[in-house]
Structure 1
């Protein structure tokens, strides 16, 4: 499978609406409203000074979406969505590996990259580990689920020095 990454443009707004609203996103807080997605795209929320969005293309098909946020800060965040029919094929790991290299290469001022997922999103947690990210946080009952129930959230990050050396430096969990 050939994987490529293409920057989102406003011309892609209808494709974005389709991608975000025509499938299930079980680990995100709410379903997407088509007009809200279209409005956010028109307002530049997917591509501006602090945000860049990229399509994950698998054999030329839109299989996923990466949204890089807080790019002016020294610790950007990302949101990754892999389409239902493409899940379980290794695209998440390829996407996180790509975005990590992209951010550290294109933004020399950043020292770390962060991402958060629900505790029960085992696939994404495995992607973080495979991609060299260390678990740094556990937020109890902080992620609102579509069912109205709060779920635990887990935060991961990678340091530039770990990315460069290919190591993972875990936090000191016993510092008190």
Structure 2
């Protein structure tokens, strides 16, 4: 399956509105996105400006997903990855994560690391992070309100440039705290 990544252009605004408001996004801030809100975000430059770049994920001529890179002026950018419902579960997320990692480290030589956060129950994305060399660096308890009214844990992953270059994943020292003294 050949995947092409096409940079978002202002002429794509109507399609982006339809893409984001025409599907559900269960592992994002809101399951449903309002089209008028998307238009406002486009006008604000959230999808294409000095600090943000967005790319369509195109498979067999169809725009099946979206990669949004954020904070590109920092040395630690983040991203948003969305795949249309009917294309989920086919490995597109992992392939897009591999692509965006290579793209950011190649195009932005000052970037030291790339971060991503997902809900704890987003098993597919967590698996993609690990397969693509990202290390779990954070676990935020009760940090992600869900549409069902529950609050889920959020999990943060990152990849370092040196790990990407070497193909090895270094993990944080999770046992670095001093033993508490008894009272």
TM bucket normalised to smaller: over 0.9
What TM-score, normalized to structure 1? 0.98
1:70 alignment counterpart:
71
Task: Give the superposition deviation at 1:148.
Answer: 2.7
Shift of 1:26: 0.9
Q: Which residue of 2 aligns with 1:93?
A: 94
Larger Rg computed on CA atoms: 2
Distance 1:55 1:161 in 2: 28
Cα separation, 2, equivalents of 1:156 and 1:45: 22
Q: How many residues align?
A: 176
What is the Cα deviation at residue 92 of structure 1? 0.5
Gaps of at least 5 residues in structure 2 are 178-183
Gaps of at least 5 residues in structure 1 are: none
Compute the displacement of 1:43 (Å): 2.3
Compute the TM-score of the two structures, normalised by the length of structure 2.
Answer: 0.94
Runs of 4+ in 1 over 2 A off after TM superposition: none
Q: Does residue 44 of structure 2 align to residue 51 of structure 1?
A: no
CA contact (8 A) 1:23 1:83 kept: yes
- Could you tell me which residue of structure 2 aligns to residue 133 of structure 1? 134
Match of 2:103 in 1: 102
Q: What is residue 157 of structure 1 aligned with on the other side?
A: 158
RMSD between aligned residues: 0.8
User: Match for residue 29 of structure 1?
Assistant: 29
Q: CA separation in 2, counterparts of 1:151 and 1:139?
A: 9
